[in-house]
Amino acid sequence: DAGVIQSPRHEVTEMGQEVTLRCKPISGHNSLFWYRQTMMRGLELLIYFNNNVPIDDSGMPEDRFSAKMPNASFSTLKIQPSEPRDSAVYFCASSSGQGWSNEQFFGPGTRLTVL
Amino acid sequence: GDSVTQMEGPVTLSEEAFLTINCTYTATGYPSLFWYVQYPGEGLQLLLKATKADDKGSNKGFEATYRKETTSFHLEKGSVQVSDSAVYFCALIKAAGNKLTFGGGTRVLVKP
């Protein structure tokens, strides 16, 4: 199994530009999570989907952030317009079922730098 | 709300030393508890978990026991290796939930 795949691995952009981060979950997993990791705030859950439906987006920082999951094998996190404070590592994770002890499998992350 | 508190790092050890990373939590009900490890440049990996009081999770020589009376889940390893250098995260999920609540992470550096 290829694991959770994220692209790009690194993204450098200028303030005001649109940024799209991509995630392919593990085949057969029906829950998908987007996290952000910064030195200041640690790991934060931004949004999660179950069966392609957004369940909880309370962690999305503001309207500049949006996430979609058009099918079971693909999700995007978009930032428009981007700002320097959005610089962080963004992780996607997936898990099977809704069991509360189910392991979440993390992708390698996308390191975003907004200049 | 739910929260996880773990000791701040960095923790610097010599090879074969004993490692303890403290973790305490605040949550209503009976959460499941996890330790994740993040190696440099990688995503998080599940290290071990415990789903009820007095359960002991173990993996790769690491152990942690779910202590409900002290709301703790301290991570221990008897003899660390250089390859254990990483950031360790304590986390919880509440029953009927899907959201992991993470601690701030503890960086461990093992020197040869």
pLDDT at B30 over 70: yes
- Average pLDDT of chain B? 92
B98 CB neighbours in chain A (<8 A) are: 31, 33, 48, 50, 55-56, 95, 98, 100
Closest residue on chain A to B102 (Cα): A43
pLDDT of residue A1: 64
Alpha-carbon span A16 to A115, nearest angstrom: 9
Confidence of residue B38 (pLDDT cuts 50, 70, 90): very high
- Residue-by-residue DSSP string for A2-51: ---EEE-SEEEE-TT--EEEEEEPPTT--EEEEEEEETTTEEEEEEEEET
Which phi and psi angles does A91 have, rounded to 5°?
A: -110, 145
Which residue among A4, A45, A55 places its CB closest to the CB of B100? A45
pLDDT of residue B2: 86
pLDDT at B3 over 80: yes
Q: Long-range contacts of range A54-62, CB-CB < 8 Å, 24 or more positions apart? A: A55/B98, A56/B98, A56/B99
Per-block mean pLDDT, blocks of 10 residues, chain A (115 long): 91 97 95 92 91 91 94 96 96 79 86 97
Which residue among A42, A43, A101 places its CB closest to the CB of B32? A101
